Amino acid sequence: MHKHGLWAGLAFCAAALVARPAASAVERIEVTERTAFAPGVRFGAAGPYEKIKGVAWFALNPEDPRNAAVVDLKLAPRDARGRVVFSSPFILLRPVKALPTTLIYDVNNRGNIAILGQIDGRGAANNDPATAADAGDGFLMRHGFSLLFSAWTWDVAPPPPGVKPLVFDPPVAKGVTGPVENEFTVSAPTDVATYAGMRGLTYEPATPDDPAAVLTMRARPDDPRRPIDRALWKFLPAEQAGGPGRVTLQGGFKPGVIYELTYQAKDPRVTAAGLAGIRDLLSWMRDHPLEGAPPPRRILIFGISQSGRLIGRMLHDGLDVDEQGKLAFDGAYMQVPGAGGSAGFNSRFVQPTRHPSMLEEHDYPADAFPFTSTPARDPVSGLTASTLDKARDAQGHLPKLFVANTSTEFWNRGASLVATTPDGAADVPPADDVRLYAFMGAQHYVGRSPARAPYVNCVSTTDHYLAMRALILDLDRWVGGEAAPPTSAYPRLSDGTLTTVEAYRTTFPKGIGLSPPEQNLREPRLDFGSRFAAEGIADKVPPTHGLAYETRVPAPDADGNDRGGVRLVELQVPLGTHTSWNERAAETGFPWATARFDGSFQPFARTEAERAAAGDPRPSLQTRYPTRADLEAKLRAAAARQLAAGFLAPEDVERTVAENLGLYDRILAHDPADKSCRYLFP
């Protein structure tokens, strides 16, 4: 809220900020609000925080070689000076004390702020953080980080009331047409279905209710498509259907079917302008004081899942280097990007929300060779390349880079490819400025579901967010030259901790109530036509499929827990089997497929008598930990090892011990005949 006097002062400051180097791609910064963040709260030595909101205006030169990678930028409208102009809202949280800090830019995930949830433990998403509750436990604030958020994407579905996603309007290549593909499934029979991607939007047909549009169906991704008679279905106007991107079918849509809708669309958005906007906003922040505070001492960029893949695309395209040839950020943390995302976000008619997993969306450009940070050869194309070939600045420097996946990404997102050849035959070590981490037994996000549905098993209970907190500190120290980061820790072919699905199924223990999947995602090799690689223009939609990239999975130990990588406390001192896969329930229509993001947990038998009666080959809790004190001692020893290795912050030692002791107590108190999952969580 603004008083007139305060607003006048802010307007004066904003006007002062218009001054900039002539070559800057940031046209101006407008500050619209400056308020206390979490009023009355002091975050340790960092003290109180404030929130600054505003709008950043960008002016990209389409003729600048540093912008050449942005697909269709030259087709976007230009101002009188020949520049493509657009804007993005931003939010900055920083200490009130005017001291140089490390700035972390959080790439939002489908419009939602992510870092406050996964690092600070904040609850429900709030894209306009204001209160102490929005800070969670205040981890990032207590360590003195400034946090910056802005909009980069457009394809975010209309939110529920009160939710304010960070969304921007990118430039548009007016008058351009081309084919668009929309794959979708339904979880229950319905006459009306949404054909946009996950929580997303898509392009509407260039011709309303396009009579030439094609709707097909198939049971599995590789099955032949069967066309559905055009007279049986139609597009629905948004005002009639309750939102955009709806289609209706006589007889209804059914679970267990993959539907695909293709048609001609028009006016593609220049989506990668959002990536350039991130680059230029960070570059501006590096060189300019803002509202009385000096520029940050260093800049990190952080992204989870979709937003982690976006960082991968920025590096692949050289969009980490600004128009002056300088790095926009000093360090990057890509969390759960799977195979890295080097093919997404920057093509004509791209839908940023879409990406392949074991069941879904095998025809979308998200991942493609190269996958590794050091050069590798693709035996199919004959090309040799790395993801960082264009990422160096004018002096040859690279940002420091963490790439961290959970075991789930090895099953559903091709994560093994970031460290192997494309045929899965040999290890490829990371570059000197890159560290690879894999959180074993963990799922895409920390599970909290009290129900099995829509899956067969209870979800995994591992908490890799604690390791992520430590890695944030590790990356900051590495970038600052204060300490070396933890050694890369991920499954490898050379030591037998990375294996084939067939070998996994053979080794995985039998009779424990978990059935390993038949397959994992073999990353599709897609051919969109001759213009796609160089120009980002797809002429083949759907694309043709070539020989898939070969992917591998972590090898299991005798308990069924993953070997290699970062073995969290939960795996060093296990209370059961944590897998990174979960089976879909039969009622979903896809019982052969794994859950997209979730793993499984199957506790050990409580006593030897229960173990023998169940025929469970895994030693019981009674055998492993004769007393609770014995378990606690083992947990503390494991936590100490994680602390020494750099995968646990000192303040989180007691937390991980308490979390695991609490789970132990709940397992002992739970009747195994009760198949609910509620007992797994406090």
Apex CA 158: angle with CA 274 and CA 26, to 5°?
20
The per-residue b/e assignment along 225-261, b for 16 or more CB within 10 angstroms, e otherwise, is eeebeeeebbbbeeeebeebbbbbbeeebebebbbbb
The half-sphere exposure of 310 on its side-chain side, counting CA atoms within 13 A, is 30
Cis peptide before 556 (omega within 30 of 0): no
Which structure tokens are listed for 343?
A: 């093919």
pLDDT tens string 41-70: 999 999 999 999 999 999 999 999 999 999
Whether 172 and 269 have beta carbons less than 8 Å apart is answered as: yes
Cis peptide before 454 (omega within 30 of 0): yes
For residue 346, which of 160, 176, 534 has the smallest C-alpha distance? Answer: 534
- What's the CA gap between 682 and 675, in Å, rounded? 17
Phi, psi of 192, deg, nearest 5: -125, 130
- What's the CA gap between 109 and 117, in Å, rounded? 12
For residue 649, which of 412, 468, 420, 524 has the smallest C-alpha distance? Answer: 468
Phi, psi of 317, deg, nearest 5: -95, 0
- What's the CA gap between 92 and 149, in Å, rounded? 6
Residue ranges of the chain with per-residue pLDDT less than 50? 1-22
Helical (H) or strand (E) element with 465: helix 465-479
Q: How far is the CA of 268 from the CAs of 8, 175, 345, 509, 625, in angstroms?
A: 39, 9, 13, 51, 60
DSSP classification of residue 209:
T
- One-letter identity of residue 494: S
Which structure tokens are listed for 395?
A: 């002096």
What local confidence, expressed as pLDDT, does residue 123 receive? 72
- What's the CA gap between 417 and 377, in Å, rounded? 12
DSSP classification of residue 91:
E
Q: In what order do the strands lie in the sheet with 226-227?
A: 177-184, 258-266, 214-218, 226-227
Q: How far is the CA of 34 from the CAs of 1, 11, 26, 94, 171, in angstroms?
A: 9, 11, 21, 11, 29
The per-residue b/e assignment along 408-417, b for 16 or more CB within 10 angstroms, e otherwise, is bbbbbbbbbb
**Sole residue written with tokens 């303040």:** 651
**Residues whose CB falls within 8 Å of the CB of residue 329, separated by 6 or more in sequence, listed in order:** 105, 282, 299, 300, 301, 320, 399
For residue 263, which of 226, 216, 214 has the smallest C-alpha distance? Answer: 214
For residue 77, which of 175, 157, 180, 192 has the smallest C-alpha distance? Answer: 175
**Sole residue written with tokens 């290795």:** 645
Enumerate the domain spans of the chain: 4-169+271-441, 177-266, 476-526+553-680
- What's the CA gap between 313 and 388, in Å, rounded? 10
What radius of gyration, in Å, describes the C-alpha atoms of the chain?
A: 25
Whether 280 and 152 have beta carbons less than 8 Å apart is answered as: no
- What's the CA gap between 467 and 455, in Å, rounded? 27
- 56, β-bridge pairs: 29, 88
- 31, β-bridge pairs: 54
**Residues whose CB falls within 8 Å of the CB of residue 367, separated by 6 or more in sequence, listed in order:** 309, 338, 339, 340, 341, 342, 343, 344, 355, 356, 413, 414, 417, 523
- What's the CA gap between 678 and 682, in Å, rounded? 8
- One-letter identity of residue 666: R
For residue 391, which of 311, 336, 278, 333 has the smallest C-alpha distance? Answer: 311
Whether 261 and 213 have beta carbons less than 8 Å apart is answered as: yes
Tell the burial category of 53 from Cβ atoms under 10 Å away from its Cβ (0-12, 13-18, 19+): middle
- What's the CA gap between 229 and 122, in Å, rounded? 48
For residue 562, which of 552, 577, 550 has the smallest C-alpha distance? Answer: 577
- What's the CA gap between 459 and 578, in Å, rounded? 9
DSSP classification of residue 93:
E
Whether 132 and 327 have beta carbons less than 8 Å apart is answered as: no
